[in-house]
Amino acid sequence: MSIQLDPTFLPDLAKYGAGDISACFHCGNCTAVCNLSEEGASFPRKMIRFAQLGAKSELIGASEPWLCYACGECSTTCPRQAEPAEFMASLRRWQIAQLDPTGMGKLWFKVPAFALLVTMALMGVFGTLMVSIHGSKVFPQWVFGGTAAYETIHHVGMVVGALLVALLAASFGLLVKRSGILPLLKGRKPWSAFKWLAAEMVTMKRHGDCEISADGVVPIAKPAHKDHRLVHLAMMWGFIGLGVATTLDFLFIFFLGFEVFYPARVIGTIAGAVMLWGVSAAIWRRIADPKSGTRHTNFADAWVLAFLWILAVTGFWLEVVVTLKAHHVVHDWVLILHAAMAMEFVLLFGMTKMAHVLVRPFMLLKYKLERTPMETVD
């Protein structure tokens, strides 16, 4: 099977944040130093070669970019300063952009001004909707003033949620097609691969393996906020927990008529605190203690961290307001800011770095299936 080469690919990939990867002369140092590289998945060297050739067909469904957790050891030891760690991050951004059915993802990652313009425009649209459309006030427990009604926020949120489902369904269809995962399911028993993936999502063991040197030396224990695996886990599971709490809140309050559904409040409070800690630690790492894997912060990465942090802080603000039944116009505008940002975050989910939540597990499953032996016929 022939491979179609595109000489314009490398300059285009540079717009996604890749460094001067053309400087790489394939010494193999990056692959040798990476504790996660193994036979048949010799990243980042193999990915670099495909990119230099412009072999987009080999890259668009590759799982190797998602095996990398940006520890940065490859960039630290690169004799040509080709920044292979940032190159792998750019490949992940590029793959996500190719999965966006709207086509906006390509501009989102490549043109910061476009991302900023879309951010402000959507925030203005959602904020205006919530201020200008008033509900019937059928929820007497609603402690906020007439600035924004619960029903308005709920209905706008439902529309945004429906759009998200449609966009993610289209993206998932492209992901399945381009990854070539379906043929891997034939003639194999995938149950062990699914069990491995579930364990990996819960523990992120591979992420922890990044800290172990090639000779098997386990690193000295470090403070929790410097443990990259723990920080990553906190952000991911905190975000998922908030999603669960929000869903339960809508279900029990709007549909079942509860004034307050306390299990959702408890889940949301714990998940919010966990996520806020993780996001704060990630921001601190990039600002105060940048390492080789994070010394280059792409605008799209900064956008996600900023949004998550503001959503967590305003969320706790609103929880205190509801608990104390405090009334003030400032609280109304904090609610509008929080709701508008949350809706925008949900709508843009598939074209931002948050798509990692879906794409990385999928690609890890593909990677494991590729290494699952075919069933033998007796």
Tell me, what's the pLDDT at 2?
66
C-alpha 341/C-alpha 343 separation (Å) is: 5
Instruction: Determine if the pTM surpasses 0.85.
Output: yes
148-151-155 Cα angle (round to 5):
110
Tell me, what's the pLDDT at 41?
61
CA 33 to each of CA 30, 92, 284: distance values in angstroms, whole numbers, following the listed order: 5, 21, 26
What 3-state class would DSSP assign to 223?
Answer: coil
**Residue 258 CB-density burial (10 A; 0-12 exposed, 13-18 middle, 19+ buried):** middle
C-alpha 105/C-alpha 363 separation (Å) is: 19
**Residue 79 φ/ψ, nearest 5 degrees:** -75, -10
Tell me, what's the pLDDT at 124?
93
Tell me, what's the pLDDT at 221?
67
CATH of the domain spanning 9-98: 1.10.1060.10
Mean pLDDT by 10 residues, the chain (378 residues): 81 88 88 79 84 93 91 87 91 95 93 95 91 66 74 85 94 94 88 93 87 60 83 93 85 70 85 96 86 76 95 94 87 92 94 93 93 67
Domain boundaries, the chain: 9-98, 107-370
Q: What helix, strand, coil percent values describe the chain, rounded to 5? A: 65, 0, 30
Tell me, what's the pLDDT at 19?
77
